[in-house]
Amino acid sequence: MSYTTNSALLNLLVLLSPWSFASFVAEASSAAAANGVKSPFKIIFDGGSTGSRLHIFEFLEADANGAQGSDRSNDDATTRLPASDTERDVQCVRRGSTRANIPLSAFGRLPADQNNNNPLNSSKVAAHLLPLFDFAADIIPSQYHETTGVYYQATAGMRLLAESEQEAVYDAVYEGLMAEESFVFRGMQRKDIATLSGEMEAYYGALAANFLKGIIDTELHLVYAQNNGRETNELPHHPIGALDMGGSSTQIVYIANQDDEDDETERDPSNTCPIKQQPKLNDSENKNVCKLSDEHFFSTSYLSYGVDQIRKRLWDTLVLEYVASDDAYMVPNPCANKGFEVEHKGHTLLGTGNTDECIRQMKRLIPHPDVLHDWDSDYSGWAVGGVEHPPIRGKFLAMSLYFFSLDSLRVFSEPDEEAHYALDEAWPTPSIDELQNALDGLCSRNWQGDMELQEGTHSFTRKEVLPHRCLETVYMVTLLKDGFGFHPSSRDITFTFLVDGDEVEWTLGLALAMNANEKSSTPPTTVTTTTTAYDYSIDDTNEDVKDDGCNETGNDVFEEEQQYHMQGMPNSQYFAVAMPPTHCC
C-alpha cells in the first residue's frame, strides 16, 4: 500500500492558522464592544463528524475581596474558589452544553449538484441549529445576546469536503440563521464559521487539559510560576501533552524539546518559569510573563486515522487481499470477536479473535518504522503515517475515544484474570505493557453467548460499538507503542474523560485562548505542525452518537463516571460546573 501526504487535505487543515486566529479574535471582540455591553459569555460550536455540540462559557472577574462579579442571579449550583485562593483573577465556567445529532457535513452537495450550481437551501441547513441557539438564549441574559461571540468551528467531518463545498455550507448556515427572526445572537459574523485545523484542535485540547489540571489560568499563565515556584497541592508545574482520538482523525500535542542543557547553564535561578519565553512577553508591571502558547508545542493531526476510518481501511484491505488469494465469500477478520459477522462490500467478515494477527494488521495500517532496537531512549525515528515527530516528552492526558475504548478493555478483558487485574489496578495510568497484555482477554472472547450479552455492562460502550472494541483497543495500543513510541513500561499517560467533574474538550481550550488573546496585543506565533492524510477514498458515514448522557439501559452514567476522576487532584473546581456528558463513546 502507498501512504502519501495529501496536499489538498493539508490545505484544508490550515484554514485557521494562529495568525488568522489572532485577527479573528481582535475583530470579533471590537465589533462586540462597539455594539453594546461587552459580554462575558462565549458560544463555541464543535462541528464534529457525528453532530454539532454547542458550549456556553462565562468568564467571571473577581473583585478585590476575591468574590466573582456576575450579572447572573442564579449561581447557587456553581461552586468556585475565591481568586485569593487560586491566585486567578478570572475564572471560566461552563454554563451549559447541548447538541444536534446531524453533522454539518451531511449538507454537502453531491458532485452533480455542485457542477450544476444547485444552491443549498439555507433555511434547511440552519434549521437543525436553531434549537441549540434557543437553549443558549435561555441561559445567557438578554442584555448580552447581541454582543456574545458565536464561533462555529468544524473538525474532521467537514475537512473531508472540498474547500469550496465547505464554504458553500458555511454560507448557507450563516444566511439561514440571519434570516430567522428568532435568532438573537446578531453579533455573529460569517467569518466566525470555519474549519478548524487538526493542529489547532490538538493545541486547544492541550490548553483544556492544562487548565483543568490547574497548570495554567484563564490567560494561559503557568500557575506554578505565578506562585513563585511553589507546587501548591502537589500540582505539576510542567505543561502536559494531550492525546485525542475521534472517528475520523487523531491528534497528539506535547511540549517539544527545548534544549534543557542550555536552560540549565543560562537560566536565572530566580526565574521559576519551566518553559522558554520570548523576551518581548511582558506584563503590565514589566515583569517576565510565564505564559503558555502554541510555540511551545509540537502538534500533529492525522486525518483518516480515527477509529472509524481505520476500521474501514482494515475491512477493505482484508476483502481485497483475501479475495485475491482465495476468492471466497467468507473473509477472516482477526480484529473481531470469534464468530462475529458483518457484511462488507458483498462479503462476510467473520471474526476470529486473533490478537497477534490483528496487531500485525494494525502495524501495516499505521504504518511505523521497523523497530529493531531495545527501546533506545536516544532513538528519534518514531513516525506515524511516514511522518517523523520529536521523541515523546512529559506527561499526557488521553481523552475522548482513548478513554472510552481503553476503559472498556479494563472491563471486557476479565477472562484473562491476571492481565485484567493488573490493568484494573493500574487504571487510569497503566503502562503500555499492561494495556497490551489485556488485549487477548477481550479479543479472544466469543461473540455469540458471550460478548453479545455484555451490552450495558460498560457505561461508555453503546450497543453499536460493542463489536468494534477489539479492533479499537488493538489499534490504539499499537499506535501508542509502535507509532508514537511510548515506552512499554512507562506510565506517562492518564486516560481520562473527566477532571474534577468536567470533560476535557478542545472547545474549552479555544475559549481560553480567545480570552487570553483579547487581553493581549501579542499574536501567537506559528505552531510547529504536521498534518498527515491517508490517500484513500472515504465513505464518511459514521454511527450516531447518543445524546442523553445515558447508556443503552437508560441509566444516568454521571455517578459512575465519578470513579474516573483524577486521583490525588485537589478539589479545585476551577472549571466549576460538573455536568453529565452530552455524548458518549
Numbered residues of the known binding site for ATP: 247-251
The cell for 406 is: 481503553
Measured distance CA(340)–CA(334) in Å, rounded? 10
* Cβ 451 vs Cβ 337: under 8 Å: yes
Strand partners, 8: none
The cell for 12 is: 484544508
Q: Output the CA angle 533-539-544, nearest 5 degrees.
A: 110
* Cβ 506 vs Cβ 210: under 8 Å: no
Q: Which residue in 492, 294, 251, 491 sits closest to 385, CA to CA?
A: 251
Measured distance CA(365)–CA(479) in Å, rounded? 10
Catalytic site residue 201? yes
Radius of gyration of the chain (CA): 24
Helices 198-212 and 506-518 pack at an angle, to 10 degrees, of 90
Fill in the amino acid letter for 550.
Answer: C
Question: Cβ–Cβ contacts within 10 Å for residue 252, how many?
Answer: 27
* Cβ 164 vs Cβ 11: under 8 Å: no
Measured distance CA(450)–CA(453) in Å, rounded? 5
554: left (phi over 0), alpha (psi -120 to 50) or beta: left
The cell for 422 is: 493488573
* Cβ 540 vs Cβ 105: under 8 Å: yes
Measured distance CA(294)–CA(288) in Å, rounded? 18
Looking at the chain, how many residues does it have?
A: 585
Q: Output the CA angle 352-355-361, nearest 5 degrees.
A: 90
Given the residues 199, 201, 503, 505, the one annotated as active site = 201
Q: CA torsion sign, 397 to 398 to 403 to 406?
A: negative
Q: Which residues contact 261 (CB under 8 A, 6 or more apart)?
A: none
Provide DSSP, 347-378.
EEEEE---HHHHHHHHHHHTT-----SS--TT
What are the DSSP E strand ranges found in 78-181? 90-100, 149-154
Strand partners, 495: 398
Q: Which residue in 310, 488, 459, 326 sits closest to 392, CA to CA?
A: 488
Q: Which residue in 88, 370, 402, 435 sits closest to 242, CA to CA?
A: 402
Place of cell 506517562: 492
* Cβ 247 vs Cβ 544: under 8 Å: no
Q: How remote is the C-alpha of 283 from its chain's centroid? A: 31
Fill in the amino acid letter for 461.
Answer: T
Q: Using H for helix, E for strand and C for coil, what is the string for 528-548?
A: EEEEEECCCCCCCCCCCCCCC
* Cβ 217 vs Cβ 511: under 8 Å: no
Q: Report, as residue numbers or ranges, the catalytic residues.
A: 201
